[in-house]
Structure 1
Amino acid sequence: MSEAVTHSVTTPPGLLASLDPLLREWLPRQRWFAGKGRPVTGFSLVSATELLPPTAKLGLYHLLVRAHQPPAAAPQTAAPPDPHGHPGDTYQLLIGVREALPPRLAPALIGHLTEGPLAGRTVYEALYDTRPAELLLEALRTQDRIGGLRFEKDPDRDIRPGLVPRVSTAEQSNSSVVYGDTFILKLLRRVVPGVNPDLELPLALARQGCARVPAPVAWMLADAADGVPAQAAPAESEEPYPTAYPGETTYVLGVLQPFVQGATDGWELALRELAKGEDFQAEARALGRATAEVHTALARALPTVTLGHLQMRALVDGMIERLEAAAQAVPTLHPYVPGLLSAFEALGQLAEEGHTWTAQRVHGDLHLGQCLRSPSGEWSLIDFEGEPARPLAERRMPQPALRDVAGMLRSFDYAAHSAGTPAPQWAEACRAAYCSGYAEVGGRDPRHDPVLLRACETDKAIYEVVYEARHRPDWLPVPLAAVRRLALSSRST
């Protein structure tokens, strides 16, 4: 490993101030920026680490930057409330520095600095550059520590040096770099301190020998001295795990996992088969079995809880609050509120009558795009971060497993409406096959709990309405069609 990446150099004062006007323009355009539709009023530095000194050829800085914005109108899409009084979202940035960008890096341009310690230089998104991406893998391979950055790995796994990196171009809420055909590094962009389920759950599943989820090989952490205490690792966790001691601030920044060579994500595969008029029921059934395998392994690995009347009342109240906030943010929902509300009230009524449910750790944001089908036909589940708009503590709470099932059912509906001509019968056939496959492994058909399933699917559709209204207005008719259906079905039951 070269000397440049085995120690850090003091970040030049004034760096963030000089980047400020460029970041205000560039950051909101990124797919992973959570605060779209609200102006950025300023930045504060959480941490800065110089990974490569800014020589004439290349410099590299790792920054954790908090973006300050006015509050969002819709709480579902706002930054989660910070219990420690730090407003705004924190983003992980890898800033490359060159005198001029070669043509191959033109899409990565952030801008040209006219003042500050790097005046006259060009800054850009460094992940698109080979050398910075290689540096990250080498740091993980050697378990390096650079300033406040820690690179850790499973001691039983080897990382071969010299793998050629390439940035994944798939649309996603984070960034990924593929190394050869061996590993994929997922870099989390919007980060919060504490135990991140995108590392916690795959490690727990690996301990259970669950082959449906690629096991983490290495991970990247940061200790940032901004006074935010991290959540400690759960008591039931076992090594290897990045342990956060009381008073430390620990951010999970990235996870390196095996790359499933030749895999197709479920969304692409479903759209391809739909376009050809091919049946997708066999794949949906297999995907249902894979989901149940993961749920079963998670229930073995981590504690489960019983949800009685009080716990279900809190769950139902949360659903109702999200509906009210969504209707305020998206007035188009108003006509459907009574029908949607009845889905949640029916669940609350069952709980009052003494029904109980089991809650466990779940994926938290399951849809076709979070599933990979290998050339051999095996399905894997990826991206256990959960819905990024939710607070971390909420994402780590045990939930009914039907929350994941509802997310997948909604995904089949999305796929069916993405075709040139909507195909609701295709979606219904896939939904039925998925539930049947789930029952084959899980032992219980999700459709046998219709009140909870409908409530979870309704809650998910409401979330989708807010998301699409804010980020992709052209897609808004898809969840609105589901809202109409769910509102009517709720009233008729």
Structure 2
Amino acid sequence: MTPDLTTHLTGARWFGGKGRPLTVTGTRRLGTLGPARPTDEEPTLVLELVTVQYADAEGGTEYYQVPLSCYAAAVDHLDHALVEVFDDPELGSVHAYDAVHDRFAMAYLLESFDRPPSTGPLRFERLPGHDLDLTTHSSLFTGEQSNSSVAFGEDALLKVFRKITPGRNPDITVHDVLTRAGSDHVAALFGWLEADSLVEGEVLQLAMLQQFLRTASDGWELALSSVRNLFAEADLHADEVGGDFAGEAARLGVALRETHDTLAENFPTRVRTDAEQGDVAAGMRERLDAAIEVVPGLAEHAAPVRKVFEAVADLADVRVQQIHADLHLGQTLRTVRGWKIVDFEGEPARPLAERQLPDTPWRDVAGMLRSFDYAPRVVERTFDDADPSAGDQRAYRAAEWSKRNRAAFLEAYTERELTHDENLLLSAYVADKAVYETVYEARNRPTWVSIPLDAISRVRP
């Protein structure tokens, strides 16, 4: 008897199909670690792959990894992580817990990266150059994540992928290349876990182990703090307050440029054909039309946006390469050794085949520019007072912060004046990103939809 994981799956924060009609159509055991049969004190770590079939108009199939820490008896301190009690033909009667909460189960994974099993369905790949600290205990990161991250002391961070897309995960392949190239702008990759079992004819990559950036501060939170400092200083401009962020924005621009340069040196680059460029512009127009159906307020601003997209269709010699593809301040970390860029998976909602395609670096730049526009608008919305003049003052300060930091970032990234074609391409990607944001906000945070709508209203062909 295999466990019924439907309830656990649909209630998990990392599950991407919430609210959709679905059926769990299969559970596949990818491998086990630890003793062949669990005891009261020693668990067997079981890695299960769950197949989900959706029954709505969109339909489709998704795969989710559920690592289970299986004990022969109940474990009181893991009661909050209980998934299922079931009888297993190989393990016997077990109490199964979400394994990322169990230090013993996570220790099996860490030890396997250090001493990979010589046989079995699980393959632990290792990069040379770092000795793992096996004396550390695991600690699960909390918060809303599409994956599960577990730190081992101050040494290593294990990212357990939850939604599994058959094929090579860009987060691993890109980190692998950047680590081997000696990039200073990513957390070094130590290794990854994959399964022999093929799904849809493709390999399954289950987890990655990387450097733990223990001194890191989240880039988004730092930006919000800077905005709060500005709003607290009624008589000072953005360049006069102690929390001015422009220097950090510039350093982040340099980090992105150098990362793009390293990616271009180590991945194929090419020039888009005219037909491909036309398809890119057509996709932008289609997303705008679809967004208007969800956010009718977009319609009054659509004409100039369409003109930008139409002009982009005629651009020639657009060079594309490996990029981040989902970049914003929340994908950056500030450490004592400078900025680090994280999470190279691309947009999780896009098919893997699309996420692996080369794209223009201006897409990453556009994502950062939108993030610099978002930060002050988000802080602005935390105030609730009846004084219209105070609101007007904060709106002015928000625009000032956004303009200053966007300019600092872009100047540091380019180190020159942009050409007409580059400006056009960047404007198109900024508008396309804002169109996406209107739909996201309308569905998740309706009171925030004015943030991207304001940005779209400023688009000029």
State the TM-score bracket (shorter-chain normalisation): 0.7 to 0.9
The one of 18, 25, 32 aligned to 1:36: 18
Kindly state the Cα deviation for residue 483 of structure 1 after the two structures are TM-superposed: 3.0
2:326 to 359, 365, 371: 365
Q: Corresponding residue for 1:236?
A: none
- 8 Å CA contact 2:269–2:320 kept in 1: the answer is yes
Q: Determine which of 33, 50, 59 is the counterpart of 2:32.
A: 50
Instruction: Please name the residue that 1:67 is paired with.
Output: 52
1:489 aligned to 2:461?
no
How far is 1:119 from its partner?
9.4
Shift of 1:146: 6.3
Task: Return 212-221 or 28-37, whichever deviates more.
Answer: 28-37
Segments of structure 2 that go 5 or more residues without pairing to the other structure are 231-242, 384-394
1:142 matched to which residue of 2? 115
Counterpart in the other structure of 2:225: 272
Q: Distance in 2 between matches of 1:382 and 1:454?
A: 25
1:229 paired to 2:204:
no
TM-score under structure 1 normalisation? Answer: 0.80
Taking a change above 3 Å as real, the CA distance of residues 44 and 444 of structure 1, as seen in their structure-2 partners, is: farther
Aligned length: 429
Residue 113 of structure 2 is aligned to residue 128 of structure 1: no
Change (3 A) 1:189 1:222: same
Q: Describe the superposition over 1:321-346 as per-residue Cα deviations: whole angstroms up to 9, x where unpaired.
A: 33333334555545444443333112
Residue 462 of structure 1 aligns to a residue in which SS? helix
State the alpha-carbon separation in 1 of the partners of residues 119 and 300 from structure 2.
Answer: 55
Equivalences for residues 259-338 of structure 1 within 5 A = 259-277=212-230, 278-331=243-296, 333-338=298-303
**Which residue in 2 is equivalent to 1:100?**
74
2:69, 2:425 → 1: CA distance? 49
Cα–Cα, structure 1 residues 445 and 254, in superposed 2: closer, same or farther, change >3 Å?
farther
1:337/1:37 CA distance change after superposition, 3 Å: farther
Deviations 1:17-74 (CA, angstroms, capped at 9, x unpaired):
xx33xx333323333212122022223124432334333343431111111112465x
Cα 1:114–1:252, aligned 2, differ >3 Å: closer, same or farther? closer
Q: Residue 204 of structure 2 corresponds to which residue in structure 1? A: 251
Distance 2:95 2:298 in 1: 46
Q: 1:394 to 1:259 in 2, by over 3 A?
A: same
The range that moved more, 476-485 or 205-214, is: 476-485
Q: Is the alpha carbon distance of 1:431 and 1:327 closer, same or farther for their aligned partners in structure 2, counting shifts above 3 Å?
A: same
TM-score (norm 2): 0.85
Report the alpha carbon displacement of residue 263 of structure 1 after superposing the two structures with TM.
Answer: 0.9
1:46–1:456 Cα change, 3 Å: farther
Following superposition, the deviation at residue 445 of structure 1 comes to 4.6
Q: 1:198 touches 1:384 (CA, 8 Å); kept in 2?
A: yes
Moved more, 321-330 or 406-415: 321-330
Alignment of 1:340-379 (within 5 A): 340-348=305-313, 350-351=314-315, 355-376=316-337, 378-379=338-339
* CA deviation string 1:147-206 (max 9, x = no partner): 421111013432232222111124322111111111111111111121211111122222
In structure 2, the residue matched to 1:206 is 179
Q: How far does residue 392 in structure 1 lie from its aligned partner after superposition?
A: 1.0
Where in structure 1 are there 5+ consecutive unaligned residues?
A: 1-13, 79-86, 231-249
Q: State the shift of 1:453 in Å.
A: 1.1
Aligned residue identity for 2:207: G
Q: Secondary structure at the match of 1:139?
A: helix
Secondary structure of the equivalent of 1:50?
strand
Retained in 1: the 8 A contact 2:24–2:50? no
Q: Report the counterpart of residue 189 of structure 2 in structure 1.
A: 216
Change in CA separation of 1:44 and 1:61 when aligned onto 2, cut-off 3 Å:
same
Structure 2 contact 294–439 (Cα < 8 Å) conserved? yes
Q: Percent identity?
A: 38
Q: Which moved more, 1:124-133 or 1:32-41?
A: 32-41
Q: Do the aligned partners of 1:47 and 1:224 also contact (CA within 8 Å) in 2? A: no
1:424 maps onto 2:381 in alignment: no
**Structure 1 residues 403 and 89, CA gap change in structure 2 (3 angstroms):** same
Give 1:385 shift.
Answer: 0.6
* Deviation (angstroms), 1:114: 6.6
- Could you tell me how far 1:95 is from its partner in structure 2? 1.5
The answer (yes or no) to whether the contact 2:219–2:331 under 8 Å persists in 1 is: yes
2-structure distance, mates of 1:342, 1:109: 55
| Aligned pairs for 1:79-98 within 5 A | 87-98=60-71
Aligned residues: CA RMSD:
2.6
Partner of 1:438: 413
Partner residue in 1 for 2:375: 415
Change (3 A) 1:121 1:332: farther
Kept after mapping to 1: 8 A contact 2:70/2:95: yes
CA drift at 1:302: 1.1
Task: Provide closer, same or farther for how the CA distance between residues 315 and 151 of structure 1 changes in structure 2, counting only shifts above 3 A.
Answer: same
Distance 1:216 1:158 in 2: 12
Partner of 1:168: 141
Evaluate the alpha carbon distance shift between residue 126 and residue 331 of structure 1 in structure 2; reply closer, same or farther with a 3 A threshold.
farther
Contact 1:47 1:225 survives alignment (8 Å): no
Q: Does 1:113 align with 2:66?
A: no
Pair 126,114 (structure 1): closer, same or farther in 2 beyond 3 Å = closer
Contact 2:147 2:162 in 1 (8 A): yes
